[in-house]
Amino acid sequence: MSSPDPGVVIIWTDAVRPSAPPAGTSMERPHGRHWRKLLQRAVLLGVPLGYLAVLLIGPLLAVLKGAFADGIGAFFSAVTSAHALHAFLITLAMSALAIVLNTLFGVAIAWTICRDKFPGRALLGGLVDLPFAVSPVVVGLMAMLLFGSHGWFGPWLKGAGFNVMFSWPAMALVTTFVSLPCVVREVTPVLEEIGVSEEEAARILGASRLQTFLRVVLPNIRWGIAYGVALTAARTLGEFGGVLLVSGGLAGKTETATLLIYRELEERHDTTAHAVAVILALASVLILVAMEFLKHRRDRDLRQAGSKS
């Protein structure tokens, strides 16, 4: 091939010059990308941690400061007073009663939902979650409409010498109702996961229905029940709205720990209110630790049941 101009020499080479970056882009140094990733990570961690600090850690520190504002002696005097000890006792009694009732009926309801086929089964499963959807104040109002002096059953019960409202039966009823789904919703997935093969094998071998439940089913759902019990305890210890309506808040009689905090704040006894709140917060932390342990055991049983099936 000849050059069109004899005075021009064309030199052919295989070297390729580096192309320019596409339009709209720029060359970025490695250390620039590194610092940008660090900044993104700091933002992603800092925002939720800051949110947690504002909503949880900050108020908790404020409660601790208020509880020990007058010294450790005033703190112990507040939490060991007659009214405080009685409030703690009432709170534990209501929580224990709710745990027993919800464990027995919760397991029975979960068993019915998982093992029996009947019309309205889905409706029953939805009604179980009703206490989570309804405000505790509304629950207390419904109890007053049913068992109050002018309610449906109140006059008849009062005539029989049984007083429900403004006493422990109404408090137990409301506390049990608001925590009903806790055990049911923890046992139901475990029963669904383990299936019925082991139960059918036990029945073929001659075991009765009760023996099958105690020796086959109960060992498989024990950690689910325990986790539901922990949830029930956490829910009942902090119950306030419904109990406030049905108990009357009588000091030394129908006053729970949360109602005591409310009354002490109303009377401007901040140290006592903060001290009782610290005890409830400590109980909640202990329950949270237990829940994490029980959750691990429950998940392990679920994985084992899944591998068997």
**Rounded-to-10 torsion of CA 173, 177, 180, 181:** 180
Instruction: Express each pLDDT in 190-220 by its tens digit.
Output: 888 888 888 888 888 888 888 888 888 888 8
- The per-residue pLDDT for 278 is 95
Give me the amino acid identity at 33.
Answer: R
CA distance 50 to 196: 48
- The answer, yes or no, to whether residue 13 has pLDDT greater than 60, is no
- The answer, yes or no, to whether residue 2 has pLDDT greater than 70, is no
CA distance 248 to 205: 56
Task: Give yes or no for a contact between 247 and 241, defined as CB atoms under 8 angstroms apart.
Answer: no
Task: Give yes or no for a contact between 131 and 265, defined as CB atoms under 8 angstroms apart.
Answer: no
- The per-residue pLDDT for 119 is 86
- Mean pLDDT for 82-105 is 95
- Mean pLDDT for 108-118 is 88
CB count in 10 Å sphere of residue 284: 14
* pLDDT band (50, 70, 90) for residue 6: low
Q: State the DSSP code for 57.
A: I
State the chain's mean pLDDT as an integer. Answer: 84
Q: State the DSSP code for 56.
A: I
Instruction: Express each pLDDT in 230-289 by its tens digit.
Output: 999 999 998 998 999 999 888 888 999 999 999 999 999 999 999 999 999 999 989 988
Q: In sequence order, which ranges of 5-81 are alpha helices (DSSP H)?
A: 30-52, 58-67, 72-79
**Rounded-to-10 torsion of CA 251, 254, 257, 261:** -40
* pLDDT band (50, 70, 90) for residue 20: low
Q: State the DSSP code for 16.
A: -
- The per-residue pLDDT for 48 is 81
CA distance 9 to 2: 10
How many alpha carbons fall within 13 Å on the CB side of residue 50?
6
- Mean pLDDT for 117-140 is 88
- In angstroms and rounded to an integer, the radius of gyration of the C-alpha atoms of the chain is 32
Burial class (CB within 10 angstroms; exposed 0-12, middle 13-18, buried 19+) of 169: middle
CA distances from 131 to 73, 136, 175, 288 (A): 41, 8, 10, 21
CA-angle at 206, arms to 203 and 207, nearest 5°: 65
Phi-psi region of 127 (alpha: psi -120 to 50; beta: other; left: phi over 0): alpha
- The per-residue pLDDT for 192 is 86
- Mean pLDDT for 283-305 is 81
* pLDDT band (50, 70, 90) for residue 176: very high
Give me the amino acid identity at 104.
Answer: L
Q: State the DSSP code for 2.
A: -
Percent of the chain scored above 70 by pLDDT?
Answer: 87
DSSP string, 95-141: HHHHHHHHHHHHHHHHHHHHH---TTHHHHHHHHTHHHHS-HHHHHH
- The answer, yes or no, to whether residue 59 has pLDDT greater than 80, is yes
CA distance 286 to 193: 29
Three-class SS state of 88 = helix
CA-angle at 272, arms to 268 and 274, nearest 5°: 95
Give me the amino acid identity at 91.
Answer: T
